[in-house]
Protein backbone atom coordinates (compact mmCIF):
# COMPACT_ATOMS: atom_id res chain seq x y z
CA UNK A 1 0.00 0.00 0.00
CA UNK A 2 1.42 3.38 -1.01
CA UNK A 3 0.60 6.96 -0.03
CA UNK A 4 -0.36 9.04 -3.05
CA UNK A 5 -0.91 12.47 -1.47
CA UNK A 6 -1.62 13.31 2.10
CA UNK A 7 -4.10 10.80 3.48
CA UNK A 8 -4.98 9.48 -0.01
CA UNK A 9 -4.40 5.72 -0.19
CA UNK A 10 -3.13 4.32 -3.49
CA UNK A 11 -3.85 0.69 -4.32
CA UNK A 12 -0.74 -0.42 -6.15
CA UNK A 13 -1.92 -2.49 -9.12
CA UNK A 14 0.66 -1.35 -11.62
CA UNK A 15 -0.34 2.23 -12.49
CA UNK A 16 1.33 4.87 -10.36
CA UNK A 17 -0.20 7.98 -11.94
CA UNK A 18 -2.60 10.21 -10.10
CA UNK A 19 -4.57 13.21 -11.20
CA UNK A 20 -5.53 15.91 -8.75
CA UNK A 21 -4.69 13.66 -5.80
CA UNK A 22 -7.05 10.87 -6.97
CA UNK A 23 -5.47 7.52 -7.78
CA UNK A 24 -6.40 6.43 -11.29
CA UNK A 25 -5.96 2.81 -10.24
CA UNK A 26 -8.23 3.25 -7.25
CA UNK A 27 -10.85 5.00 -9.40
CA UNK A 28 -10.79 2.23 -12.00
CA UNK A 29 -10.99 -0.47 -9.34
CA UNK A 30 -13.88 1.24 -7.58
CA UNK A 31 -15.78 1.61 -10.86
CA UNK A 32 -15.39 -2.09 -11.63
CA UNK A 33 -16.20 -2.97 -8.05
CA UNK A 34 -19.42 -0.96 -8.13
CA UNK A 35 -20.54 -2.55 -11.40
CA UNK A 36 -19.74 -6.03 -10.11
CA UNK A 37 -21.63 -5.50 -6.85
CA UNK A 38 -24.71 -4.30 -8.73
CA UNK A 39 -24.64 -7.02 -11.37
CA UNK A 40 -24.04 -9.98 -9.06
CA UNK A 41 -26.22 -8.82 -6.14
CA UNK A 42 -23.29 -8.87 -3.74
CA UNK A 43 -23.99 -8.46 -0.05
CA UNK A 44 -21.66 -7.77 2.83
CA UNK A 45 -21.44 -8.90 6.42
CA UNK A 46 -19.37 -7.03 8.97
CA UNK A 47 -16.93 -9.45 10.60
CA UNK A 48 -13.84 -9.13 12.75
CA UNK A 49 -10.45 -8.72 11.17
CA UNK A 50 -9.13 -10.99 13.93
CA UNK A 51 -11.93 -13.37 15.00
CA UNK A 52 -9.85 -14.52 17.97
CA UNK A 53 -9.47 -10.99 19.40
CA UNK A 54 -11.79 -8.49 21.02
CA UNK A 55 -10.08 -5.41 19.58
CA UNK A 56 -13.14 -4.32 17.62
CA UNK A 57 -11.47 -4.06 14.18
CA UNK A 58 -13.92 -5.12 11.46
CA UNK A 59 -14.22 -5.29 7.69
CA UNK A 60 -17.06 -5.86 5.18
CA UNK A 61 -16.95 -9.49 4.06
CA UNK A 62 -18.56 -9.86 0.63
CA UNK A 63 -20.70 -12.85 -0.32
CA UNK A 64 -23.34 -13.97 -2.79
CA UNK A 65 -26.45 -16.06 -2.15
CA UNK A 66 -28.03 -17.43 -5.33
CA UNK A 67 -31.12 -19.60 -5.65
CA UNK A 68 -32.36 -18.86 -2.14
CA UNK A 69 -36.00 -19.15 -3.22
CA UNK A 70 -37.43 -22.59 -2.55
CA UNK A 71 -36.11 -25.51 -0.54
CA UNK A 72 -32.86 -26.22 -2.30
CA UNK A 73 -29.90 -27.81 -0.49
CA UNK A 74 -27.18 -25.24 0.24
CA UNK A 75 -23.85 -25.64 -1.55
CA UNK A 76 -20.97 -23.48 -0.34
CA UNK A 77 -18.34 -23.13 -3.09
CA UNK A 78 -14.79 -22.26 -2.02
CA UNK A 79 -12.34 -21.28 -4.81
CA UNK A 80 -8.63 -22.03 -4.88
CA UNK A 81 -5.62 -19.87 -4.29
CA UNK A 82 -5.30 -18.52 -1.75
CA UNK A 83 -6.05 -15.40 -3.71
CA UNK A 84 -8.70 -16.50 -6.18
CA UNK A 85 -11.87 -14.42 -5.98
CA UNK A 86 -15.41 -15.79 -5.78
CA UNK A 87 -17.73 -13.16 -7.19
CA UNK A 88 -16.30 -12.25 -10.60
CA UNK A 89 -14.67 -15.53 -11.77
CA UNK A 90 -17.69 -17.66 -10.82
CA UNK A 91 -20.36 -15.36 -12.25
CA UNK A 92 -20.98 -17.66 -15.26
CA UNK A 93 -21.02 -20.79 -13.09
CA UNK A 94 -23.38 -19.76 -10.27
CA UNK A 95 -26.51 -19.89 -12.48
CA UNK A 96 -25.56 -23.39 -13.61
CA UNK A 97 -25.19 -24.51 -10.00
CA UNK A 98 -28.65 -23.13 -9.25
CA UNK A 99 -30.08 -24.92 -12.29
CA UNK A 100 -28.52 -28.13 -10.96
CA UNK A 101 -30.80 -27.77 -7.93
CA UNK A 102 -28.66 -25.96 -5.37
CA UNK A 103 -28.80 -22.75 -3.42
CA UNK A 104 -25.20 -21.62 -3.84
CA UNK A 105 -23.39 -19.44 -1.30
CA UNK A 106 -19.97 -17.99 -2.13
CA UNK A 107 -17.81 -15.95 0.23
CA UNK A 108 -15.15 -13.61 -1.17
CA UNK A 109 -11.99 -14.63 0.69
CA UNK A 110 -10.57 -12.10 3.14
CA UNK A 111 -7.82 -10.00 1.59
CA UNK A 112 -9.13 -10.65 -1.93
CA UNK A 113 -11.30 -8.67 -4.33
CA UNK A 114 -14.46 -7.33 -2.70
CA UNK A 115 -13.22 -8.44 0.75
CA UNK A 116 -9.79 -6.86 0.45
CA UNK A 117 -10.31 -3.67 2.46
CA UNK A 118 -11.38 -2.63 5.93
CA UNK A 119 -14.10 -0.10 6.70
CA UNK A 120 -11.74 2.79 5.83
CA UNK A 121 -10.67 1.36 2.48
CA UNK A 122 -7.28 0.14 3.69
CA UNK A 123 -5.84 -3.26 2.84
CA UNK A 124 -6.44 -5.85 5.54
CA UNK A 125 -3.27 -6.63 7.51
CA UNK A 126 -1.18 -9.60 6.46
CA UNK A 127 -1.37 -10.79 10.07
CA UNK A 128 -5.10 -11.42 9.55
CA UNK A 129 -4.48 -13.91 6.75
CA UNK A 130 -4.92 -17.34 8.33
CA UNK A 131 -6.81 -20.50 7.40
CA UNK A 132 -8.82 -20.52 10.63
CA UNK A 133 -9.91 -16.90 10.17
CA UNK A 134 -11.07 -17.62 6.60
CA UNK A 135 -12.97 -20.70 7.77
CA UNK A 136 -14.71 -18.70 10.50
CA UNK A 137 -15.70 -16.11 7.88
CA UNK A 138 -17.63 -18.80 6.01
CA UNK A 139 -19.34 -20.02 9.18
CA UNK A 140 -20.27 -16.42 10.04
CA UNK A 141 -22.04 -16.04 6.68
CA UNK A 142 -23.94 -19.30 7.23
CA UNK A 143 -24.97 -18.03 10.68
CA UNK A 144 -26.13 -14.75 9.17
CA UNK A 145 -28.20 -16.56 6.52
CA UNK A 146 -29.71 -18.93 9.05
CA UNK A 147 -28.23 -21.98 7.33
CA UNK A 148 -27.73 -24.89 9.69
CA UNK A 149 -26.05 -27.45 7.45
CA UNK A 150 -24.48 -27.05 4.03
CA UNK A 151 -22.70 -29.13 1.46
CA UNK A 152 -19.24 -27.72 0.82
CA UNK A 153 -17.36 -27.78 -2.50
CA UNK A 154 -13.71 -26.78 -2.18
CA UNK A 155 -11.32 -26.49 -5.12
CA UNK A 156 -7.55 -26.72 -4.57
CA UNK A 157 -6.81 -24.51 -1.53
CA UNK A 158 -10.58 -24.20 -1.16
CA UNK A 159 -10.65 -27.93 -0.43
CA UNK A 160 -8.17 -27.40 2.38
CA UNK A 161 -10.39 -24.59 3.66
CA UNK A 162 -13.38 -26.95 3.47
CA UNK A 163 -11.51 -29.42 5.66
CA UNK A 164 -10.76 -26.61 8.12
CA UNK A 165 -14.50 -25.89 8.35
CA UNK A 166 -15.02 -29.58 9.03
CA UNK A 167 -12.53 -29.38 11.89
CA UNK A 168 -13.82 -26.12 13.40
CA UNK A 169 -17.57 -26.59 12.85
CA UNK A 170 -18.34 -30.22 11.94
CA UNK A 171 -22.00 -29.77 12.85
CA UNK A 172 -22.37 -27.37 9.88
CA UNK A 173 -21.21 -29.85 7.22
CA UNK A 174 -23.80 -32.03 5.47
CA UNK A 175 -21.30 -33.37 2.96
CA UNK A 176 -18.12 -32.42 1.16
CA UNK A 177 -16.83 -32.27 -2.41
CA UNK A 178 -13.04 -32.02 -2.62
CA UNK A 179 -11.94 -30.91 -6.08
CA UNK A 180 -8.25 -30.93 -7.07
CA UNK A 181 -7.59 -30.50 -3.38
CA UNK A 182 -4.21 -30.04 -1.79
CA UNK A 183 -3.60 -32.60 0.94
CA UNK A 184 -0.72 -31.80 3.26
CA UNK A 185 2.66 -30.08 3.29
CA UNK A 186 4.15 -33.52 3.92
CA UNK A 187 3.42 -34.41 0.27
CA UNK A 188 5.23 -31.46 -1.30
CA UNK A 189 8.35 -33.49 -2.02
CA UNK A 190 6.34 -36.36 -3.52
CA UNK A 191 4.60 -33.96 -5.92
CA UNK A 192 7.92 -32.39 -6.92
CA UNK A 193 9.47 -35.80 -7.60
CA UNK A 194 6.46 -36.85 -9.66
CA UNK A 195 6.97 -33.81 -11.88
CA UNK A 196 10.59 -34.80 -12.37
CA UNK A 197 9.57 -38.32 -13.33
CA UNK A 198 7.14 -36.91 -15.88
CA UNK A 199 9.04 -34.00 -17.39
CA UNK A 200 12.73 -34.67 -16.74
CA UNK A 201 13.12 -38.44 -16.80
CA UNK A 202 10.10 -39.25 -18.99
CA UNK A 203 9.01 -42.31 -17.03
CA UNK A 204 5.44 -41.96 -18.34
CA UNK A 205 4.99 -42.68 -22.04
CA UNK A 206 2.62 -39.72 -22.35
CA UNK A 207 5.39 -37.30 -21.38
CA UNK A 208 8.46 -39.09 -22.76
CA UNK A 209 8.61 -36.71 -25.73
CA UNK A 210 8.40 -33.68 -23.44
CA UNK A 211 11.16 -35.02 -21.18
CA UNK A 212 13.48 -35.68 -24.13
CA UNK A 213 13.09 -32.08 -25.27
CA UNK A 214 13.57 -30.73 -21.73
CA UNK A 215 16.82 -32.67 -21.26
CA UNK A 216 18.10 -31.48 -24.63
CA UNK A 217 17.36 -27.84 -23.81
CA UNK A 218 19.03 -28.12 -20.40
CA UNK A 219 22.14 -29.66 -21.96
CA UNK A 220 22.33 -26.97 -24.63
CA UNK A 221 22.05 -24.15 -22.12
CA UNK A 222 19.61 -22.36 -24.41
CA UNK A 223 17.07 -21.93 -21.63
CA UNK A 224 17.40 -22.09 -17.88
CA UNK A 225 16.33 -25.14 -15.96
CA UNK A 226 14.25 -22.86 -13.74
CA UNK A 227 12.20 -21.53 -16.65
CA UNK A 228 11.50 -25.04 -17.89
CA UNK A 229 10.23 -26.07 -14.45
CA UNK A 230 7.96 -23.02 -14.35
CA UNK A 231 6.37 -23.35 -17.77
CA UNK A 232 6.28 -27.00 -18.84
CA UNK A 233 4.03 -28.48 -16.09
CA UNK A 234 1.20 -25.93 -16.40
CA UNK A 235 1.28 -26.00 -20.22
CA UNK A 236 1.05 -29.80 -20.17
CA UNK A 237 -1.71 -29.62 -17.58
CA UNK A 238 -3.85 -27.08 -19.39
CA UNK A 239 -3.24 -27.97 -23.04
CA UNK A 240 -1.81 -31.49 -23.10
CA UNK A 241 1.45 -33.16 -24.14
CA UNK A 242 1.37 -32.29 -27.84
CA UNK A 243 1.11 -28.55 -27.22
CA UNK A 244 3.96 -28.76 -24.70
CA UNK A 245 6.12 -30.55 -27.28
CA UNK A 246 5.34 -27.97 -29.97
CA UNK A 247 6.14 -25.11 -27.60
CA UNK A 248 9.49 -26.69 -26.69
CA UNK A 249 10.28 -27.24 -30.37
CA UNK A 250 9.73 -23.53 -30.98
CA UNK A 251 12.03 -22.73 -28.09
CA UNK A 252 14.74 -25.06 -29.41
CA UNK A 253 14.53 -23.23 -32.75
CA UNK A 254 15.24 -19.96 -30.96
CA UNK A 255 11.66 -18.71 -31.23
CA UNK A 256 10.86 -17.29 -27.78
CA UNK A 257 7.82 -15.21 -28.72
CA UNK A 258 5.26 -17.61 -27.21
CA UNK A 259 7.51 -18.87 -24.42
CA UNK A 260 8.28 -15.42 -23.04
CA UNK A 261 4.62 -14.41 -22.96
CA UNK A 262 3.53 -17.57 -21.22
CA UNK A 263 6.36 -17.21 -18.70
CA UNK A 264 5.45 -13.58 -18.01
CA UNK A 265 1.80 -14.48 -17.47
CA UNK A 266 2.63 -17.22 -14.96
CA UNK A 267 5.05 -14.98 -13.07
CA UNK A 268 2.56 -12.14 -12.90
CA UNK A 269 0.34 -14.21 -10.62
CA UNK A 270 3.07 -14.22 -7.96
CA UNK A 271 4.22 -10.62 -8.23
CA UNK A 272 3.13 -8.46 -5.31
CA UNK A 273 1.27 -5.47 -6.73
CA UNK A 274 0.78 -7.14 -10.13
CA UNK A 275 -2.45 -8.90 -9.34
CA UNK A 276 -5.52 -9.38 -11.50
CA UNK A 277 -7.87 -7.10 -9.53
CA UNK A 278 -11.15 -8.67 -8.42
CA UNK A 279 -10.08 -11.97 -10.02
CA UNK A 280 -6.79 -13.16 -8.53
CA UNK A 281 -4.99 -11.23 -5.78
CA UNK A 282 -2.12 -13.10 -4.17
CA UNK A 283 -0.20 -10.32 -2.44
CA UNK A 284 -2.20 -10.45 0.84
CA UNK A 285 -3.84 -13.89 0.87
CA UNK A 286 -0.58 -15.49 -0.27
CA UNK A 287 0.61 -15.12 3.31
CA UNK A 288 -1.59 -18.12 4.13
CA UNK A 289 0.23 -20.22 1.53
CA UNK A 290 3.69 -19.46 2.87
CA UNK A 291 2.87 -19.30 6.58
CA UNK A 292 0.52 -22.28 7.00
CA UNK A 293 0.34 -24.54 3.96
CA UNK A 294 3.63 -25.36 2.26
CA UNK A 295 7.25 -24.75 3.30
CA UNK A 296 8.45 -23.79 -0.16
CA UNK A 297 12.14 -24.70 -0.11
CA UNK A 298 14.20 -25.17 -3.26
CA UNK A 299 16.23 -28.39 -3.15
CA UNK A 300 18.84 -27.34 -5.71
CA UNK A 301 18.16 -30.31 -7.97
CA UNK A 302 17.26 -30.01 -11.67
CA UNK A 303 13.68 -29.20 -12.63
CA UNK A 304 12.65 -27.88 -9.23
CA UNK A 305 9.02 -26.81 -9.49
CA UNK A 306 9.21 -25.19 -6.03
CA UNK A 307 12.07 -22.84 -6.93
CA UNK A 308 9.95 -19.92 -8.18
CA UNK A 309 7.84 -20.03 -5.01
CA UNK A 310 10.97 -20.24 -2.86
CA UNK A 311 12.35 -17.13 -4.57
CA UNK A 312 9.23 -15.17 -3.61
CA UNK A 313 9.16 -16.40 -0.02
CA UNK A 314 11.03 -13.37 1.31
CA UNK A 315 7.98 -11.18 0.63
CA UNK A 316 5.78 -13.30 2.90
CA UNK A 317 5.81 -14.57 6.50
CA UNK A 318 7.94 -17.67 7.18
CA UNK A 319 6.36 -21.11 7.45
CA UNK A 320 4.95 -21.81 10.91
CA UNK A 321 3.20 -25.12 10.33
CA UNK A 322 -0.21 -26.33 9.25
CA UNK A 323 -3.24 -25.36 11.34
CA UNK A 324 -4.29 -29.02 11.48
CA UNK A 325 -2.97 -32.36 10.26
CA UNK A 326 -5.23 -33.59 7.44
CA UNK A 327 -4.20 -37.24 7.75
CA UNK A 328 -5.24 -37.16 11.40
CA UNK A 329 -8.62 -35.46 10.95
CA UNK A 330 -9.96 -37.02 7.74
CA UNK A 331 -10.88 -40.39 9.33
CA UNK A 332 -13.17 -38.48 11.70
CA UNK A 333 -15.25 -36.92 8.93
CA UNK A 334 -18.62 -38.67 9.26
CA UNK A 335 -20.35 -37.00 6.30
CA UNK A 336 -20.39 -38.14 2.63
CA UNK A 337 -17.31 -37.11 0.63
CA UNK A 338 -16.68 -37.12 -3.12
CA UNK A 339 -13.19 -36.38 -4.45
CA UNK A 340 -12.59 -35.10 -8.00
CA UNK A 341 -9.20 -35.47 -9.71
CA UNK A 342 -7.77 -34.56 -13.09
CA UNK A 343 -5.41 -37.07 -14.65
CA UNK A 344 -3.13 -34.26 -15.90
CA UNK A 345 -3.15 -32.30 -12.63
CA UNK A 346 0.47 -31.52 -11.72
CA UNK A 347 -0.37 -29.70 -8.47
CA UNK A 348 -2.79 -32.11 -6.80
CA UNK A 349 -2.14 -35.40 -8.62
CA UNK A 350 -4.44 -38.39 -8.54
CA UNK A 351 -2.22 -40.30 -6.10
CA UNK A 352 -2.86 -37.67 -3.41
CA UNK A 353 -6.60 -38.11 -3.74
CA UNK A 354 -6.21 -41.88 -3.67
CA UNK A 355 -4.53 -41.51 -0.29
CA UNK A 356 -7.16 -39.07 0.95
CA UNK A 357 -9.95 -41.42 -0.18
CA UNK A 358 -8.35 -44.26 1.78
CA UNK A 359 -8.69 -42.16 4.95
CA UNK A 360 -12.32 -41.15 4.37
CA UNK A 361 -14.91 -43.82 5.20
CA UNK A 362 -16.93 -44.68 2.08
CA UNK A 363 -15.59 -41.80 -0.03
CA UNK A 364 -16.07 -41.82 -3.81
CA UNK A 365 -13.08 -40.79 -5.95
CA UNK A 366 -13.95 -39.54 -9.44
CA UNK A 367 -11.05 -39.25 -11.91
CA UNK A 368 -11.23 -37.35 -15.21
CA UNK A 369 -8.29 -38.94 -17.08
CA UNK A 370 -7.54 -36.09 -19.49
CA UNK A 371 -8.39 -33.14 -17.26
CA UNK A 372 -6.31 -30.65 -15.33
CA UNK A 373 -6.77 -28.75 -12.08
CA UNK A 374 -10.17 -27.32 -11.02
CA UNK A 375 -12.86 -29.67 -12.28
CA UNK A 376 -15.83 -27.48 -11.28
CA UNK A 377 -14.76 -24.83 -13.78
CA UNK A 378 -13.50 -27.13 -16.55
CA UNK A 379 -15.97 -30.03 -16.24
CA UNK A 380 -18.88 -28.12 -14.75
CA UNK A 381 -21.78 -30.20 -16.03
CA UNK A 382 -20.37 -33.59 -15.07
CA UNK A 383 -19.26 -32.42 -11.63
CA UNK A 384 -22.66 -30.90 -10.85
CA UNK A 385 -24.44 -34.06 -12.01
CA UNK A 386 -22.35 -36.14 -9.61
CA UNK A 387 -22.88 -33.70 -6.76
CA UNK A 388 -26.63 -33.51 -7.31
CA UNK A 389 -26.78 -37.31 -7.27
CA UNK A 390 -24.81 -37.45 -4.02
CA UNK A 391 -27.17 -35.01 -2.34
CA UNK A 392 -30.30 -36.61 -3.76
CA UNK A 393 -29.54 -40.32 -3.35
CA UNK A 394 -26.17 -40.83 -1.67
CA UNK A 395 -22.65 -41.82 -2.65
CA UNK A 396 -23.59 -45.06 -4.39
CA UNK A 397 -25.76 -43.16 -6.85
CA UNK A 398 -23.04 -40.52 -7.22
CA UNK A 399 -20.63 -43.27 -8.24
CA UNK A 400 -23.06 -44.58 -10.85
CA UNK A 401 -23.59 -41.11 -12.30
CA UNK A 402 -19.84 -40.53 -12.38
CA UNK A 403 -19.29 -43.72 -14.35
CA UNK A 404 -21.65 -42.46 -17.07
CA UNK A 405 -20.61 -38.78 -17.08
CA UNK A 406 -16.83 -38.84 -16.71
CA UNK A 407 -15.77 -38.72 -20.34
CA UNK A 408 -13.01 -36.88 -22.13
CA UNK A 409 -14.79 -35.98 -25.34
CA UNK A 410 -13.69 -33.36 -27.88
CA UNK A 411 -15.85 -30.49 -26.64
CA UNK A 412 -14.64 -29.69 -23.14
CA UNK A 413 -12.76 -26.37 -22.74
CA UNK A 414 -9.27 -27.84 -22.44
CA UNK A 415 -9.69 -29.97 -25.56
CA UNK A 416 -10.78 -26.85 -27.45
CA UNK A 417 -7.79 -24.92 -26.12
CA UNK A 418 -5.41 -27.71 -27.12
CA UNK A 419 -6.74 -27.85 -30.67
CA UNK A 420 -6.55 -24.09 -31.08
CA UNK A 421 -2.95 -24.01 -29.83
CA UNK A 422 -1.90 -26.97 -31.94
CA UNK A 423 -3.28 -25.15 -34.97
CA UNK A 424 -1.41 -22.02 -34.00
CA UNK A 425 1.94 -23.81 -33.72
CA UNK A 426 1.47 -25.62 -37.02
CA UNK A 427 0.85 -22.30 -38.75
CA UNK A 428 3.65 -20.57 -36.87
CA UNK A 429 6.13 -23.08 -38.25
CA UNK A 430 5.33 -21.96 -41.79
CA UNK A 431 6.97 -18.61 -41.21
CA UNK A 432 8.08 -16.43 -38.33
CA UNK A 433 7.32 -13.02 -39.75
CA UNK A 434 5.13 -10.94 -37.41
CA UNK A 435 2.36 -10.63 -39.99
CA UNK A 436 2.14 -14.38 -40.42
CA UNK A 437 2.19 -14.87 -36.67
CA UNK A 438 -0.68 -12.44 -36.24
CA UNK A 439 -2.61 -14.27 -38.92
CA UNK A 440 -2.00 -17.59 -37.20
CA UNK A 441 -3.23 -16.19 -33.92
CA UNK A 442 -6.36 -14.83 -35.60
CA UNK A 443 -7.05 -18.14 -37.32
CA UNK A 444 -6.53 -20.12 -34.11
CA UNK A 445 -8.88 -17.73 -32.34
CA UNK A 446 -11.43 -18.16 -35.10
CA UNK A 447 -11.25 -21.93 -34.86
CA UNK A 448 -11.73 -21.69 -31.11
CA UNK A 449 -14.79 -19.48 -31.62
CA UNK A 450 -16.26 -22.04 -34.04
CA UNK A 451 -15.67 -24.89 -31.59
CA UNK A 452 -17.16 -22.91 -28.70
CA UNK A 453 -20.14 -21.92 -30.82
CA UNK A 454 -20.87 -25.55 -31.56
CA UNK A 455 -20.55 -26.42 -27.87
CA UNK A 456 -22.97 -23.67 -26.87
CA UNK A 457 -25.40 -24.76 -29.57
CA UNK A 458 -25.26 -28.34 -28.34
CA UNK A 459 -25.91 -27.21 -24.77
CA UNK A 460 -28.80 -24.97 -25.86
CA UNK A 461 -30.51 -27.98 -27.41
CA UNK A 462 -30.33 -29.97 -24.18
Q: What is the pLDDT of residue 65?
A: 98
Q: What is the pLDDT of residue 462?
A: 45
pLDDT tier for residue 102 given thresholds of 50, 70 and 90: very high
Residue partners of 266: CB distance under 8 A and separation at least 6: 230, 231, 234
| Per-chain mean pLDDT for the chain | 87
pLDDT tier for residue 454 given thresholds of 50, 70 and 90: low
- Can you tell me the distance from the alpha carbon of 416 to that of 411, in angstroms, rounded to the nearest whole number? 6
Q: What is the pLDDT of residue 134?
A: 99
Assess contact for 370 and 409: CB atoms under 8 A. no
Could you tell me if 161 and 202 lie in one domain? no
Neighbouring CB atoms inside 10 A of 182's CB total 24
Assess contact for 304 and 192: CB atoms under 8 A. yes
Q: What is the pLDDT of residue 2?
A: 34
Could you tell me if 453 and 352 lie in one domain? no
Neighbouring CB atoms inside 10 A of 429's CB total 14
- Percentage helix, strand, coil for the chain under 3-state DSSP, each rounded to 5: 50, 15, 35
Task: Decide if 452 is inside a domain.
Answer: yes
Of 405, 427, 444, the residue that ends a domain is 405
Give the angle 16-17-20 at the CA atoms, nearest 5°.
135
- Can you tell me the distance from the alpha carbon of 270 to that of 57, in angstroms, rounded to the nearest whole number? 28
Of 405, 435, 451, the residue that ends a domain is 405
Which region, left, alpha or beta, applies to residue 125 given φ > 0 means left and ψ of -120 to 50 means alpha?
A: beta
Task: Decide if 30 is inside a domain.
Answer: no
pLDDT tens for each residue of 357-384 = 999 989 999 999 999 999 999 999 999 9
Task: Decide if 288 is inside a domain.
Answer: no
Could you tell me if 382 and 433 lie in one domain? no
Greater confidence (70 vs 10) lies with 70
What is the three-class DSSP state of 340?
strand
Q: How many domains does the chain have?
A: 3
Q: What is the pLDDT of residue 18?
A: 39
Tell me how long the chain is: 462
Q: Which domain holds residue 262?
A: 187-268
Task: Decide if 307 is inside a domain.
Answer: no
β-bridge mates for residue 231, sequence order = none
Q: What is the pLDDT of residue 185?
A: 85
Helix or strand (DSSP H, E) at 166: helix 157-168
Could you tell me if 116 and 241 lie in one domain? no
pLDDT tier for residue 12 given thresholds of 50, 70 and 90: very low
Could you tell me if 115 and 263 lie in one domain? no
CATH label of the domain that carries residue 150: 3.40.50.1820
Could you tell me if 152 and 253 lie in one domain? no
Task: Decide if 114 is inside a domain.
Answer: yes
| Whether pLDDT at 417 is above 50 | yes
Q: What is the pLDDT of residue 119?
A: 92
Give the angle 450-453-457 at the CA atoms, nearest 5°.
140
DSSP assigned state of 123 = B
β-bridge mates for residue 18, sequence order = 23
Residue partners of 248: CB distance under 8 A and separation at least 6: 210, 213, 214, 217, 232
- Can you tell me the distance from the alpha carbon of 40 to that of 146, in angstroms, rounded to the nearest whole number? 21
Task: Decide if 434 is inside a domain.
Answer: yes
Nearest to 213 by CA among 259, 254, 251: 251
pLDDT tier for residue 452 given thresholds of 50, 70 and 90: very low
Task: Decide if 21 is inside a domain.
Answer: no
Greater confidence (365 vs 435) lies with 365
Amino acid sequence: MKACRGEQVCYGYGAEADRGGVSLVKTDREDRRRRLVEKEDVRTLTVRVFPDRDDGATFPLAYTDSGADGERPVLVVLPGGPGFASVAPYAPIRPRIVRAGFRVVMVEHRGVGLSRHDERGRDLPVEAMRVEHAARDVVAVLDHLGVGEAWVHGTSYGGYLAQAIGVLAPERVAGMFLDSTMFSSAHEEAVRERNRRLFLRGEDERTAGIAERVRRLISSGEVSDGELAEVVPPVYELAGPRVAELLLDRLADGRRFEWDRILAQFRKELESGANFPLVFEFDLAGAIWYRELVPRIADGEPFDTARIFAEKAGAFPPFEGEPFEPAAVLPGFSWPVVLFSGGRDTRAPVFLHDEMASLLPGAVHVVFPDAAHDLLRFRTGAVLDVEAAAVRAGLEEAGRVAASRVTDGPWHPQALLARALEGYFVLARLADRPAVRRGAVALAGGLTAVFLGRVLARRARK
